[in-house]
Each structure stands twice: as C-alpha cells, then as structure tokens.
Chain A
Amino acid sequence: MRRFVEHHTVWAIAILLASVMFLWMVFAVWPEWLVSAIGRKKTFVGTFLNGVTLGGLYFLVASGFTLVFGLMRNVNLAHGSMYLLGGYIGYEVAEASGSWFLALVVAFVAVALVGILLQVLVFRRMEGDDLRQTLVTIGISIVAADLMLAFWGGNTYQFQPPDWLYGTIQLPIVSVIKSDGSAVFIKYPLYRFTVLGVAVAVGIALWLFLNRTKIGMMIRAGVNDRDMLAASGVNVQLIFALVFAIGAGLAGFAGVIGGSALSISPGEDIRYLLASLVVVIVGGLGSISGAAIGALIIGLAEQFGLAYFPTYGVVLTFLIMVVVLAVRPQGIMGGR
C-alpha cells in the first residue's frame, strides 16, 4: 500500500479522489442531473451492492481454480462441474437433514474428496503435460454435466438458508427525501451480505493459511520451484492432493453459497466456469489477491452491464478481459 503510494503518487491521489467522490455520491442525496445521467440512486446502489456480492461469490469459485493452477499448472476446466456438484450434494444433505450448515460442510468435504480422487487417479499420471490435463478436465466436465443431468434432472433447486440469514436490512443510505421530510432508506437482502462476508472470511483464511503456516510456506515454495521443493524432502504429491482438495472443496462450498443466493440448475457449471476463467485471466492466473481483484471487477461489470445496457452486458465483461490482455497479458496481479 505504502509502496504503491510512493511509486504511483498520481494514481493514488486519483483513486483517493474517486473513492471520496463515490462515498459522497452514496451518502448524500442525489441531485436531479445525476438521476437523469445514471438513474435513481436506489438502482445505482443496488447494482453496486449486487456487483460486490456477486464478486464475492466469484471469488469463492475462482480462488480454488487459481490456487490449483498456481501450484500444479493444471487448468481445471471441470471446476464449474465441481461447483454444480457441490450445489446438488448440498441440496440433498439440506433436504435430508434440514441443516443448511451441515450442507455447507458436506458439500466442501465431498467435492474435496472428488478432487483428491481426480488428482490421484488422473492428473498424477500426466504431470507436466498441461494440454493433456486440460483436455482431460474438459472430458470430465462433459461426462459430469451429463450424469448430473441424468441424476438430478433439469429442475431448478432452491436452498432454504436459516431464517435469520434471510430478510432485508436497512442501510444507512438515504435514497430520496419524501415531501413530508422523512427519509427513505435503501434496503438490501441480508443473505447477499452474508455471501460477501463469507468470501472475505475465506479470502483472509486462505491468506493466513498460505502466509502464516508451514504447509502454506511449502505451497508457496512449490509455486516458485516445484522440483526444488521435492528435492528438499517434501512429499510434493501430498501437497498437490491437499491443494487440489482445497480448490475443489471451495468450488463445492461455493455451490451451496451461490445456490442459496441464486439457484442450482444445469448450465450453472458453464456460467461459473466462464466467471472463473475471466476472473483469473483479468486478475492473474495463480494469484489469490488477483482472483479477489478480478472477481470484484467482473462482478461489478456484470451487474452494471445488466442494469444499464442489458443486451450488451456480456460485451462489457469481455472488453475488460481484452483490455487487460492487451495492456498486461499476465493479468493484473500475475507475475511471470
């Protein structure tokens, strides 16, 4: 942070001014011209919050994807299938036990086990052959999507999170002042904030795990030089299996979180695969902080695109990807 300010003072000032401007816009009542320019404040703030919380969900999915790539150079294109599988398993557990939290835990563990199986049975056999690994993950995603369709059908499933997570909360943001002088406050669903909170918690936990534990140290060493790590006596295969388990488990976990915020149905796997791809391309493949930044950008872009120019919403996401690739091919936080 401090180094950034020292090195890019102009940028730092610009960002500071922009955020002050933004806060003023959010907390003050909007003048008329702003309403005509970017719509009512309720729409704007709602879209912004939707974007941030969607970014949180994308971070949950993409962090596993990028973690696995960072260490193993394995682009797991079956990551979306793991999201969907986690959602379905979580739904079954929640239906059977009635506990949403149990669903979260089981989805994480079950999909993590699937990840370990894949790593041990498939990817270990073709280490170093990036393209073949990627093709295999495509094959797995085709079969997995079809089998899940066979088992769970084309229905849409909706979770029932605990009641105290549902409902709306009132934000300390005034949208309009009524003629009698009373202010109307903006309301927002609580569950969406929960998604954001979980994403932040997972992000911090991942950071602590990677930077403050011994295993995390080994993982970081493996990212830099896998062979040297193996040569210094670490059982690399165990580390690989562990990282794959965490990455896959996070996808399954996100399946329940995302399935409660939105819903679970066939085709969601592709949607979250696309989200993960774009997020890591923008943020930088292999970097957790890059995934966070990328997820925030893509989540915001998607929601603002949907709200302000519905039929061209996807183009905005795509343009961001192109611009990042043109200016910084390795992604915002990617180093090479």
Chain B
Amino acid sequence: MDSDHLSAESFIFKNLNPAIYIVVAFLLVYPLFASNYFIFQIAAYSLILGTIALSLMMLAGYGGMVSLAQLSAAGLAGYLMAILGQNSSDVMGLGWPWWLAVIVAILSAALFSTLVGAIAVRTEGIYTIMITLAIAVAFFYFARQNYVLFNGFTGYAGILPPTLFGINWRDPIPFYYLSLFVASGFFGAVLYSSRSTFGLSLQAIRDNPRRMRALGYNTSMHRIAAFFFSGVIAGTAGVLLVWFNTRISPGSIGVDVVIDILVIAVVGGMRHPIGPFLGALAFVLLQNFAIDLIDRERFNTVIGTVFLLVVLFSPDGILGIWQALIRKLKLARQGNHSQSRQSVTGSSDATSTDSTQA
C-alpha cells in the first residue's frame, strides 16, 4: 500500500475501471429509452433514497456510528420546505423564494444532524443506535402532536419544485437528471473525502479512538463534523424527496421509514458509497414488483426477511456478495497483468475493513 494510492486525486482520476464508464453512460442515456414510470418512480426515487442512505453509510461505514436519525434530518428539510415555501394546506407556508427555502432547509437539516451528533458522540458504539433511534421516534411523535408548526397528523401537501428556465422540474426527465446530479455529486464527494485527511482520520477514529486521541486528534469534533456533512447530504435528499412526493406527513418520517433507510444501507453494503444506491435500487424494485408475487400488505415481511438474511449471512450486503464473486473470478485467472489494480483494491479493502463494526 504505497502512499501514492492513498492521495485523493490519484484515486479518482487514474484508476477508473472501464465498467464505471459504462455505468455513467447508461445513467446518462437512461431516460432516452425508459418509460416515464421507470424514470420517475424507479430511478429517481432510488437515487433519492440512495442519497439518504448514503448519508447513513458515510457515518456508519467511515465513522462507525450507525445513526438512525438521518431520515429525520431529511424529513426536517422536507417540512421546512413546506413551512418556509409554499404548500396547499393553508397552514404556515411563509412563501419564501424557493432558493432561500432550499438553503435554509438544508442548513437546518445539517444543524439538526450536528446536534444529534453532539448528543450521540457523548457515548459510543451501540448507544449511538439507541439514542438516534430515540431521537427519530421522538421527532415522529412531535411532528404528529404539533399542529402549529408541523400541521399534526395530516402534514403538508402541494409542495412543488419551482419552474426554472421554462422547465417544470417535476417532469420525469428533468427530475431524474436533477436527482442524478445531486446523487452523483454527493457520491463523488463522499468517495473523494474518504481519501482526504478528514476521511482518513475519521476511519482511524472508528478503528481506534483511544490511539487517535493520544495522537492529539479531537475525536469528538471529527465525529460531529461527519454528522454535519451527512446532515447536508440527508437534507438535500430530503428536499428532493418532498418534491418527489409533493407532500410530507408524520408517516414520511415514521419508524418504519427510518428503518427502511437502515435496511437500504445494510442490504446495499456499507463499505463503499455505491452500496446505498444498490440497496435503494433493490428496495424500490422489490417495493414496486414484489406485489406481483405476494400480497401488497405483506411487503414489510418480505423486506424484513431480506434484511435478516443479509445481516445473518452476508454482513456486507450486495456489495459483499459482489466482491466475493469478483474475488472468485480473480482467483480463477490469477497471474494476469493486473498487478496495479490489485494493489488498489487491496488498499481500499484494508481501509474499510471492520467498517460495520462500531
């Protein structure tokens, strides 16, 4: 593992696998041949859910902190869009310009996530999951009880993205590209920062907080900063999600949805930022097409069983299965000239081992 491979630039630009070009090209031309249903309900929705799960993956994978309050941050951003911007529910709706509402919503989500982080880093490991779950549930009950700010049980409806440059951004194709832009931007940012000084120190803190503290690192501040960044990701995705649904209610931030995000991240795999997106795609496909196979009412049983099977038998999720397959293929044609690439995968494995262990 030479230091050259650890620096951020070399990782991003030099070692691109041809498969990546194919995926990028596919994502870009996807709307040309897919139906509106597949562009909007499947692809865009997967990208949004994937982005929220990405914010969880970043905390859990690199920071070792499984936070269940990420959806609450996203939900707060969504609620703020309704409260500050416009909605059709005749409650609140301060009518701020959309760009200001978006900025405030995202920053508030980030602030919320930072506060959650500040509380959660007071303790370690398994406590984080308990505290963040308690916060998420408390936020759900609060939004349901409070009629002044959150319009209680009904929530808000009619929250629409702006029409900009003559384009209605809720049309399937523009919305798809918007989601793709946001998702890939954050994907790249997380990938890049995982190799930055900050990302590496975060991973080091995950692996051995005591040693990092002894080396003079402020471990709490690193963790809280990670919560801030993940709050930005979750908040942005939350804005997209509320535009996607055009409505938000306590049901959108309920415990089942909170756990869905966890399921997506775990099923996808928490060792690489691509995991959450794979998980989200699998989740959305299951959600949309499992009803053809079984009763719609029992969707939770299906997704819960899938989740259980993944946790029990493949802790690294789809990504783990994929990597195991690759490894087998590599073993089969060992001795090829792909030395340099192997050293890269080797180093990425080394930095992300034990990523799911808190």
Contact = CB atoms under 8 A, between A and B. Distances in A.
A315 B142 contact: yes
A281 B300 contact: no
Contact of A314 (B141, B262, B303, B358): B141
Given A73-B126, A143-B305, A143-B308, A314 B298 contact: no
A240 B180 CA distance: 49
A140 B300 contact: no
Contacts of A149: 297
B133 interface: yes
A270 B308 CA distance: 19
Contact of B315 (A132, A145, A146): A132
B167 interface: no
Given A142-B304, A274-B138, A131 B146 contact: no
A134 B259 CA distance: 12
Contact of B131 (A135, A139, A142, A325): A325
Interface in B100-138: 119, 122-123, 125-127, 129-131, 133-135, 137-138
Given A150-B297, A317-B138, A139 B145 contact: no
A216 interface: no
Contact of B357 (A131, A138, A278, A312): A131
B148 interface: yes
Contacts of A277: 130, 133-134, 137
Contact of B126 (A130, A150, A322, A330): A130
Nearest to A336: B123
A49 interface: no
Interface string A8-24: 00000000000000000
Nearest to A75: B126
Contacts of A130: 125-126, 358
A314 B301 CA distance: 30
A140 B308 contact: yes
Interface string A270-292: 10011001101100010000000
B304 A313 contact: no
A142 B145 contact: no
Contacts of B148: 311
A315 B141 CA distance: 9
A46 interface: no
A322 B315 CA distance: 32
A326 B120 CA distance: 10
B266 interface: yes
Nearest to B121: A329
B137 A274 contact: yes
B146 A311 contact: yes
Contacts of A125: 312
A142 B307 contact: yes
Interface size grouping (class) on chain B: 35 or more
A209 interface: no
Contacts of B141: 274, 314
Contact of A131 (B129, B142, B299): B129
Interface string B292-321: 000001111101110110011001000000
A281 B259 CA distance: 20
A310 interface: yes
Contact of A75 (B130, B146, B298, B301): B130
Given A270-B137, A274-B138, A139 B129 contact: no
B147 interface: yes
Interface in B265-304: 266, 297-301, 303-304
Interface string A285-326: 100000000000000000000000011111101100110011
Given A142-B303, A143-B304, A281-B130, A131 B138 contact: no
A77 interface: yes
Contacts of A281: 127, 130-131, 134
Contact of B119 (A136, A315, A325): A325
A66 to B, nearest CB: 12
Interface in B305-358: 305, 307-308, 311-312, 315, 356-358
A227 interface: no
B134 A134 contact: no
B66 interface: yes
Contacts of A147: 301
Contacts of A313: 145
B69 to A, nearest CB: 12
B308 A136 contact: yes
A95 interface: no
B255 interface: yes
Interface of A: 73, 75, 77, 122, 125, 129-132, 134-136, 138-140, 142-143, 145-147, 149-150, 270, 273-274, 277-278, 280-281, 285, 310-315, 317-318, 321-322, 325-326, 329-330
Interface of B: 66, 119, 122-123, 125-127, 129-131, 133-135, 137-138, 141-142, 145-148, 255-256, 259, 262-263, 266, 297-301, 303-305, 307-308, 311-312, 315, 356-358
19 contacts: A77-B133, A130-B126, A131-B125, A131-B129, A131-B357, A132-B315, A134-B126, A135-B262, A136-B312, A138-B259, A138-B307, A139-B307, A140-B304, A146-B301, A150-B298, A270-B137, A280-B130, A285-B127, A325-B123
Given A146-B300, A277-B133, A313-B145, 16 more contacts: A130-B358, A131-B356, A134-B129, A142-B304, A270-B137, A273-B137, A274-B137, A277-B137, A280-B130, A281-B127, A281-B130, A311-B146, A314-B138, A321-B131, A325-B119, A329-B123
The 3 closest A-B pairs by CB, nearest first: A142-B304, A139-B308, A143-B304
